[in-house]
Chains A and B, each alone.
Chain A
Amino acid sequence: MSNIIDGKAGDRLLITGNAAIARGAIEAGISVAAGYPGTPATEIIENLGKAADAHNMYVEWSANEQVAMEVAAAGSLSGLRSFTSMKNVGMNVAADALLHFAVAGTRGGMVIVPCDDPGCSSSSTEMETRVFARLFELPLIEPSDGQEAKDMVKYAAELSEELHVPVILRGVTHLSHVSSIVELGEPLHLNRNADFKCDGPMFDAESGVATPQPMLVKHEQLQKKLHNAVSHFEASPFNVYTGPEHPELMMITSSICTSFCKEAVRSLGVEDRVGILKLGTTWPLPPKLIERHLSMASKIFVVEEVLPIMENDIKSFAMDLAEKIGIKKFHGKADGSLPTVNELNADLVVTALAKILGISHEKSVPASYTQLAKQIAAENVPLRGMSYCPGCPHRATFWLVNHALKMDNKQGFVCNDVGCYAIDLLPGGFQTSKTGLHMGSGMGLATGFAKLDKFGMDRTVFAASGDSTFFHAVMPALVNAVHNKANVTLLVLDNSGTAMTGFQAHPGVTYGASSQKLPSVDIASVCEGIGATVKVVDPFEPEDALQRLLESVEAEDGVNVLIFKQACTLSPEKKHKQMFDMRVDESRCLGENCGCDRLCTRVFRCPGLAWDKDKGKAKIEDAMCIGCGFCTFICPQHAISKTRKEIA
């Protein structure tokens, strides 16, 4: 069966937007691709890693988004086409680098693909990246479906190469994770030699050194490039109008919202009253095209996710043009037709459109039906809340941390970070963690809190980090803590991979994006080199781990690092392997009479442990238990036993 790596031109595949973008990179002749994993963008670089050999690419998972941007830029500066991709907030990490490459100028086509997450289905914030295009004066394009997602990568690479500026192609969750039918084009192998020319005049984009200097000259150059982008955009095939010559209402939209607009017009049957201008090139907006379409209708409805960015841009055009084209009535975010948080959908756009047109639009489902369905669900269907997997080492680690901080009795808390271990903040965890923000935030915040002792703060502070997060953003904060003599403990929950996004490589593992063997960087050695006191513990050896935690708490000053090393239960190395056979000794389990308040099932809450209602005792749920053995430690009656399994 055909796939995105060896599929031929003309093949039609049912693929996700991310796979389409990866294929687009193959068809754009991209030679260098780098990124850091993050939902919803992860599968783009993942797919390219698999395609690297077949299409002679260099693909890497970088330590963070800034490094990825730099690795990609080196490719571009050497005349190759290059690519980087990240999730929405990853753009913040890469932003400083992007700004400087924007001003300095690029050579081989360079495509930047941030994937936004309207609705935050897997992000800490709803931040969108379209503003970066305005802020850094870069061209921005937005595909409306899988086919365009693929085709636009090539368009972006060619435009970038012609203008000598990075081009941003913005995705969203409902593009990345939606599968549709995409017709493949021809893979492009440019077979260029990499050569970094740097002996020309400083301001020369082709041969000068790579720098924003001379600053004002380069800034002016950048603005000229953006101006040139406009003439391309005026004629772009990705800007399409469908509808009557003189519609009563002009909908202006972009990205996946295009499909919501089409569905709204179709389902209300207003094709003869409403036109849709779908924009693929959304910054800088092409003024002639906008003017032409604004002139066609007196009412304008801008549909976009999430903030009214395009709406405000178009309003400013309308203001300048008012004398010529008349005063327009605008609908969109500002007048409350559409919400300014969360992703859009066809229902929201249908309702808004009906209201603007004064059409009655009633739900076809009787209220009695939805009431009954809601009632049945509310009364009988328990939630499946976010919690640790059975046998997750993070559950064990936080159980021990929680105990150590309670024994310390100084209102101790953890500054958490970004990864599966952030579940500790939620009801599914033990809520020992009191902060959970951006990548690397745990260590920096913990250091700050630890430095407040002279203002009366007397609480024990721990920072938490994962292994991938450690390399991504924690290292500078650790250096800072050592240098500034913060009395703080960093817990590195090392589960051997970027587990949350699906085990992508990071500098601590022995493989790369294309499964090639690579040297791993040892976290303990790094921390020792920085000057911290380092201990490596196994969360499944609880007595030892708890002892080390208590020592850290008692340590008077300096930075302690405790590395809790235990691979993720779902990791390829561990999957389907059971270390111990677990049993509950029913004669020892006292059930509700124990006084432990059913610690194992109510508090520890590993799905491998269940409550046998008939017997009034705990039991092992064999279908879920992975045999980590940790729960023998938690039962006050020692009713849970473990027997080592013979592993063949």
Chain B
Amino acid sequence: MSEGKLRQDPYNILVTGVGGQGNLLLSRLIGLMFMKKHYNVVTAESFGATQRGGSVNSQVRISAKESCSPGIPANSAHLIIGLEPLETLRQLAAYGNPEVKIVCNSRPIPPSSVMTGEREYPDHEDIKQWLGALSAKAWLFDATTEAMKLGRAVYANIVMIGAMVGAGDLPIGRDDFEAAIEGVLPAGEIENNFKAFDFGMSICLSDDATCRYFGD
């Protein structure tokens, strides 16, 4: 769906993950995709005290009308791109709502308390159930393994962009991705980026989602 209107205006996308995963690049690429289609884009980043390994999030707001205020209002995310399951769950109380859609990389990055054996990392099936219970639709899938097949874990971020497009709320498509990455991602990696994008898109288009409606 590379033409048409935003399902909601402004449309709010929350990108959440762990410092060093690539939040900044991801929100920038999303912003560029929409800027090239003449939308107003505002992205707010958490940086500063957020060091490597800390919780980070980027907030992208898109509008066909006027420029929005930076920062997504409480419980008003329309789409959450989760680069890590715990970070996705962490943000739902603040930004989630029964209508939100979630695309989430299932690859865990354990917090230090899990590494030291003080806490447990939640079970995959529980995560799936919680994400389902707190969204209109959630896709939980291993983007990192797919990225590693292409040679580098960072392609997982591009898988997530493909998933975002595949989730179907947004008037953008593969051609917009192509336009946005030109001059931003290394030319030698374009092919792999397309493969990563296509994989992500196919996941969400296949509708093989952990799909549950809140309140069921």
Choose, from A232-240, A384-392, A483-491, the stretch at the interface: A384-392
C-alpha gap A289/B111 in the complex (Å): 54
Q: Is B183 interfacial (CB 8 A cutoff)?
A: yes
B74, chain A: closest CB distance, angstroms = 5
Residues of B within 8 A of A363 (CB): 74-75
A605-B116 Cα distance, complex, nearest whole Å: 7
For residue B58, give the distance in angstroms from its CB to the closest CB of chain A.
9
Judge whether A345 and B73 touch: CB under 8 Å.
yes
Which of B48, B75, B90 has the most chain A CB atoms closer than 10 A to its own CB? B48
List B residues 16-68 near A (Cβ within 8 Å): 18, 27-28, 31-32, 35, 40-49, 51-55, 66-68
A263 touches B75 (CB 8 A): no
Chain B residues 71 to 101 lying within 8 A of chain A, measured CB to CB, are 71, 73-75, 86, 89-90, 92-93, 96-98
List residues 103-121 of chain A with CB under 8 A from any CB of chain B.
117, 121
In-complex Cβ contact of A346 among B32, B41, B73 (8 A) = B73
| Contact flag A610-B115 (CB < 8 Å), given A12-B35, A263-B69, A374-B93 | yes
Complex CA gap A365/B89 in Å reads 17
B53–A346 touching, CB < 8 Å: no
Interface-side segment among B126-134, B161-169, B191-199: B126-134
Residue contacts A-B, CB under 8 angstroms, 30 given: A1-B184, A122-B49, A173-B48, A174-B44, A178-B44, A179-B45, A181-B67, A256-B70, A262-B69, A263-B73, A267-B73, A369-B75, A370-B93, A373-B96, A376-B134, A377-B92, A380-B89, A380-B126, A381-B89, A382-B86, A382-B114, A383-B113, A384-B54, A384-B112, A386-B54, A598-B116, A607-B53, A607-B115, A609-B115, A610-B117
Say if the beta carbon of A215 comes within 8 Å of chain B.
no
Instruction: Digitize A175-199: 1 where CB-to-B-CB distance is under 8 Å, 0 elsewhere.
Output: 0011111000000000000000000
Q: CB distance A14 to B70 under 8 Å?
A: no
User: Chain B interface mostly helix, strand, loop or mixed?
Assistant: loop
B182–A611 contact, CB under 8 A?
no
CB <8 Å contact, A259 and B53: no
Q: Does A54 contact B (CB under 8 A)?
A: no
Inter-chain contacts of A358 with B (CB < 8 A): none
Contacts of A383 in B (CB 8 A): 55, 111, 113
Instruction: List 3 A-B pairs, minimum CB-CB distance, nearest first.
Output: A122-B48, A1-B183, A611-B117
Which of A263, A365, A384, A613 contacts B55 (CB under 8 A)? A384
B176-210 vs A, Cβ < 8 Å mask (1 yes, 0 no) = 00000011100000000000000000000000000
Q: Is A40 interfacial (CB 8 A cutoff)?
A: yes
Minimum CB–CB distance for B56 against chain A, Å: 9
CB pair A181–B40 under 8 Å, yes or no, is yes
Q: Does B119 contact A (CB under 8 A)?
A: yes
A278 smallest CB distance to B (angstroms): 13
Which residues of the partner chain B approach A610 to less than 8 Å between Cβ atoms?
115-117
A408 to B188 Cα, complex, angstroms: 59
Closest CB in chain A relative to B190 CB, distance in Å? 14
Of the candidates B44, B96, B111, the one whose C-beta lies within 8 Å of that of A384 is B111
Classify chain B's interface size.
35 or more
With known contacts A39-B47, A259-B70, A369–B97 Cβ distance under 8 A: yes
Complex CA gap A610/B119 in Å reads 12
**In the assembly, what is the distance between CA of A173 and CA of B71, in Å?**
12
Q: How far is the CA of A389 from the CA of B50 in the complex (A)?
A: 12
A601 to B113, CA, bound (A): 9
Report B-chain residues with C-beta under 8 Å of the C-beta of A301.
none
User: In this complex, what residue of A is CB-closest to B10?
Assistant: A263
Nearest A residue (CB) for B70: A178
Map CB proximity to B onto A531-566 as digits: 1 under 8 Å, 0 otherwise: 000000000000000000000000000000000000
Which one of A173, A262, A364, A611 lies within 8 Å of B97 (CB-CB)? Answer: A364
Number of A residues, CB within 8 Å of B: 58
Taking a contact as CB atoms closer than 8 A, the residue among B42, B52, B116, B133 that contacts A602 in the complex is B116
Cα distance A601–B54 in the bound complex, in angstroms: 18
CB pair A373 B53 closer than 8 Å? no
Of the candidates A1, A181, A372, the one whose C-beta lies within 8 Å of that of B41 is A181
Interface membership of A530, Cβ < 8 A: no
Contact pattern, A 602-638, Cβ under 8 Å of B = 1, otherwise 0: 1001010111010000000100000000000000000
Q: B residues bordering A, Cβ < 8 Å? A: 18, 27-28, 31-32, 35, 40-49, 51-55, 66-71, 73-75, 86, 89-90, 92-93, 96-98, 111-119, 122, 126, 130, 133-134, 182-184, 214
Most buried by A among B70, B74, B126, B182: B70
| Cross-chain contact B43 with A178 (CB below 8 angstroms) | yes
- Taken residue by residue from 24 to 36, chain A's Cβ proximity to chain B (1 for < 8 Å, 0 otherwise) reads as 0000000000000
Verify A377–B90 contact, CB threshold 8 A: yes
Interface assignment of A260: CB less than 8 Å from any CB of chain B = yes
Task: Establish whether residues A14 and B31, one from each chain, have CB atoms under 8 Å apart when the complex forms.
Answer: yes
- Check A387–B115 contact: CB distance below 8 A: no
CB pair A14 B41 closer than 8 Å: yes
Across-interface contacts of B49 in A (CB, < 8 A): 39, 121-122, 386
Nearest CB of B to A152, in Å: 17
| B182 touches which of A1, A174, A377, A613 (Cβ 8 Å) | A1
Chain A residues closer than 8 Å to B112, beta-carbon distance = 384-385, 387, 605, 607
Contact A369 B73 (CB under 8 A): no
Give the shortest distance, in Å, between A624 (CB) and chain B (any CB): 8
Is there contact, CB below 8 Å, between A177 and B53? no
Say yes or no: A381-B48 contact (C-beta < 8 A), given A14-B31, A181-B40, A610-B116: no
**Complex interface: chain A residues within 8 A of B75 (CB):** 363-365, 369-370
Shortest distance in angstroms between B13's beta carbon and chain A's nearest beta carbon? 13
Interface contact B51-A386, CB-CB below 8 Å: yes
Q: Tell me, in angstroms, the Cα distance from A263 to B115 when the chains sit together.
A: 43
Q: Which of A324-361 contact B (CB under 8 A)?
A: 345-347, 350
**B116 near A372: Cβ-Cβ < 8 Å:** no
Whose C-beta in chain A lies nearest to the C-beta of B130? A376
In the complex where A364-B75, A365-B75 touch, is A179 in contact with B115 (Cβ < 8 A)?
no
Asked whether any CB of chain B lies closer than 8 Å to the CB of A570, the reply is yes
Tell me if A611 and B116 are in contact (CB < 8 A). Answer: yes
**Contact indicator A369/B98 (Cβ below 8 Å):** yes
| Nearest CB of B to A369, in Å | 6
Q: Are B48 and A178 in contact (CB under 8 A)?
A: no
**When the two chains form their complex, are residues B51 and A373 in contact, meaning their CB atoms are under 8 A apart?**
no
CA distance in complex: A121, B54 (Å): 13
> B51 to A611, Cβ gap below 8 A?
no
For A145, A384, A386, A610, which residue has the most chain B Cβ atoms within 10 angstroms? A384
**Among B27, B32, B115, residue most surrounded by chain A Cβ atoms (within 10 Å):** B115
| Chain A residues within an 8 Å CB radius of B119 | 382
Residue-wise interface mask of A (153-178) relative to B, using a CB-CB cutoff of 8 A (1 in contact, 0 not): 00000000000000000000110011
Contact call B92/A177, Cβ cutoff below 8 A: no
Partner of A178, one of B42, B111, B122: B42
- Give the docked Cα–Cα distance between A180 and B89 (Å): 28
* Given A370-B75, A387-B53; 12 other pairs, CB 8 A cutoff: A14-B43, A174-B44, A178-B43, A347-B74, A374-B93, A381-B89, A381-B122, A382-B86, A386-B51, A602-B118, A607-B112, A621-B115
Q: Chain B residues near A179: list those with CB within 8 A.
A: 27-28, 31, 41-45
Q: Among A262, A372, A374, find the residue whose CB has the most chain B CB atoms closer than 10 A.
A: A372
The CA-CA distance from A525 to B53 in the complex, in Å, is 36
* Minimal Cβ-Cβ distance residue in A for B40: A181
A267→B69 CA distance, assembly (Å): 12
